[in-house]
Amino acid sequence: MTTQEVANRYYELACQHKWMEILDEFHDDDVICREPEHAAARGVQVVTKGREANRAKSLANREMIETIHSQYCSEPMVAGNFFSLVLKRDVTFKNRPRMKLEEVCVFQVADGKIVLEQFFY
């Protein structure tokens, strides 16, 4: 798949909130995920290497959420081997007040797989 095809399919699945399907279909076995440094204060691992470690992190993050009130994914923008999009969520975390989250997500694609993802929030 081309980067544009991966981006289009990612967007399709993200709009359906199928995050594990995205991980299974597009993440390379050796994918690297980078979160901002300040995410460590919430107990989020800043750098995660490998699809299974990324899956475990995603499941752990989901466990911290009590309610997802709404989610939004922008259409992707593609440049070379990269695509980006904006994710917005209105969530209530366990034992915390409801909040609105926004992040810019940047993905690098090689051979039809996401090999690097980086989040800015």
Quick check: 94 and 78 in contact, CB under 8 A? no
CATH assignment of 3-120, among 3.40.50.720, 3.90.190.20, 3.40.50.300, 3.10.450.50: 3.10.450.50
What is the pairing mode between strands 98-110 and 27-34? unpaired
- pTM, full prediction: 0.91
Q: How many Å apart are CA 92 and CA 52, to the nearest integer?
A: 26
Is 77 in contact with 4 (CB distance < 8 Å)? no
Q: Of 30-34, 35-39, 40-44, which has the strongest mean pLDDT?
A: 30-34
pLDDT in tens, 60-116: 888 889 999 999 999 999 999 999 999 999 999 999 999 999 999 999 999 999 999
What are the structure tokens assigned to 117, written together?
Answer: 């993802």
Q: How far is CA 89 from CA 71, 76, 93, in A?
A: 4, 17, 11
